[in-house]
Chains A and B, each alone.
Chain A
């Protein structure tokens, strides 16, 4: 498959860890150990619900050195396209799933001399493994974790118990907010900053850090975008010589896969660039939703990331 080598797993344990958040322990069906991974990695989980296939990326949050099990956390999203509802409502201990090999688009920059991790809500998950890795390496780090309320802050207590004063918790229902300006000032040269959470929070942290004079190479973020809904259109696939309809709640990638065509992908969230596809023609405006292409590339309209982006028009011709 184009998403790389797939690993058959089964759900070994499910635990409710916060409001609408469940933790799943996944173990290999073969019994063979799974690859070790680096903090910040994710897997794409393939779920089969009858004839319907869902594929969602989830960060790995367990110990990077433990290949006997992987742990992911799933937030039940309000506007779920099916995947998170399947995991919450249908998946049970024993349910068979398939996962991709771990992929890391959000690695620790090992050259850094200090690491500041900023999490918002469910954005805590990649930092679970990153904090463990930094702790093992003996590298200085601070974790700043913002949540709506204690009930929304899965893992807050266990992180605080484990890492002590390196963990800072902020509950917005108690009026506590990350003191970002103070945090960005006076950090020693060689500090790297990582943020994962809602889009507005990432934007706030990144623009504040640039404003505080941080070079962009020291700033790292991860956000997986669920494919947005939109109007229906058709994709004309020049190499396959096929025309495939794309539904309102379906991405181009999903439509192409449903038609039996094996298109390349890795993250399925507009982050990695693997599904970049050349646009041959479009009779409408490309609706670029990824954060991989540069604004110039988006403006030029010669490429599209088919995992999240769409066409506002009728027919899109792709070199696929």
Chain B
């Protein structure tokens, strides 16, 4: 019942610096660091002098990505303990940014979704944000019944951590919420659930 062909399902590309940009703001999480390293490996020094990296290591803490990101020679590279603290700083940077700024995001879908959600609030179209998916396929899901957000959902059927309803995780995605839709999976007959599978490892 994961309906494919849903148009709201986000599509991600590859990180590549926009040669016209006056400033590059890169938000990365976990394995997204690898995409940043790949993208900046061949970048000339004058481009690196215009790069800001905001990084949250997440589940990749023991892989020393930060060390390698710091060694790139970007103008500014800072690690944040969690995604919410990174997003708080991102908001601050965007609040004083000008139109020459280009935004990049890499990491899990849930992370990129939250970055895009913040950027939209600053009047920027989501197509202007360059993204690359790295790491887990885990989803950020909104329970349509209680509106609670559930982080890091890896299974097709998930129990809402807020209201306890058993949810079917759909491909239907909201950029405004930065989350996939979770809808009651056993509304017809309580407890009659499809098999629980690791759909988003």
Contacts and interface: CB of A to CB of B under 8 A. Distances in A.
Interface string A183-205: 01111111110000000000000
Contact of B124 (A186, A211, A218): A218
A19 B94 CA distance: 45
A111 interface: yes
Nearest to B100: A213
Contacts of B127: 215, 217
Given A112-B123, A185-B98, A187-B98, A218 B128 contact: yes
Contacts of B99: 184, 187-189, 191, 212-214, 218
Nearest to A211: B20
B21 interface: yes
A189 B18 contact: no
B9 interface: no
Contacts of A242: none
A160 B100 CA distance: 29
A212 B122 contact: no
Contacts of B101: 189, 213
A188 B95 CA distance: 8
A213 B123 contact: no
B124 A213 contact: no
Interface in B111-131: 120, 122-125, 127-128
A192 B127 CA distance: 14
Contact of B98 (A111, A112, A189, A211): A189
A169 B123 CA distance: 27
B97 interface: yes
A215 B102 contact: yes
Interface in B25-65: none
A310 B6 CA distance: 38
Contacts of A190: 122-124
Contacts of A189: 94, 97-99, 101, 122-124
B138 to A, nearest CB: 29
A215 B124 contact: yes
Contacts of B22: 212-213
Nearest to B97: A189
Interface string B75-93: 0000000000000000000
A184 B101 CA distance: 12
Contacts of B102: 213, 215
A52 B98 CA distance: 52
A185 B100 contact: yes
Contacts of A114: 123
A314 interface: no
A176 interface: no
A217 B128 contact: yes
Contacts of B122: 113, 189-190
B139 interface: no
A185 B18 CA distance: 17
Contacts of B124: 189-190, 215, 217-218
Interface of B: 18, 20-23, 94, 97-102, 120, 122-125, 127-128
Q: Which 6 A-B pairs have the closest CB atoms?
A: A190-B123, A213-B100, A215-B128, A217-B125, A113-B123, A189-B97
Given A111-B123, A184-B99, 8 more contacts: A187-B99, A189-B98, A191-B123, A213-B21, A213-B102, A214-B99, A215-B127, A217-B125
